Amino acid sequence: MTIAEEKKFEAFLSEFKSLISKKGFKNTVQKDAVLKILYFSNEHLSAEEITKKVQDEFDLDIGIATVYRSLNFFEEMNVVEALDIGDGTKRFEFKVEQHHDHMVCTQCSEIIEFSDNFIELNQIKIAEKNGFILKDHVMTIYGLCKNCQ
């Protein structure tokens, strides 16, 4: 990670801590570490993977229950999103500003993120056509990745 990326994270973290403090919530070093792992990850990580990364990268004694509590808190605060690809493992990612969808390989479980303006516009049109106001959506496409074909 670059110095600029680190500074961007520190600015986000400072703002986030201020927000949760105003709402009466406490922050911990463990929560900071979980959030930092997710912020800089290009992967969709399970709670177990996050626990291991926090232990390895920050030399923190953190248990899986603490990680789950932190992840639930971050979901409630709308900074982390959960992804269930149907294999019994919930994965997490830092919530990015631009919406994206996922393709999941049913053989190796690779997850590929994608954005498509045509799909987004058509979903709005379909919703309007049916008298529905679209607030959000989750699209997951299942198939075989290039390596597994």
Going by the annotation, the residues of the binding site for Zn(2+) are: 105, 108, 145, 148
Cα Rg, the chain, nearest whole Å: 17
Q: How far apart are the first and last CA of the chain?
A: 33
The neighbour count for residue 34, using CB atoms within 10 Å, is 30
- Alpha carbon distances (Å) from 93 to 65, 77, 111, 124: 18, 13, 12, 25
- Which residue, 74, 76, 123, 125, is CA-closest to 101? 123
Please state the residue numbers annotated as binding site for Fe cation. 99, 101, 120, 137
Residue stretches of the annotated binding site: 99, 101, 105, 108, 120, 137, 145, 148
* 10 contact partners, CB below 8 Å, separation of at least 6: none
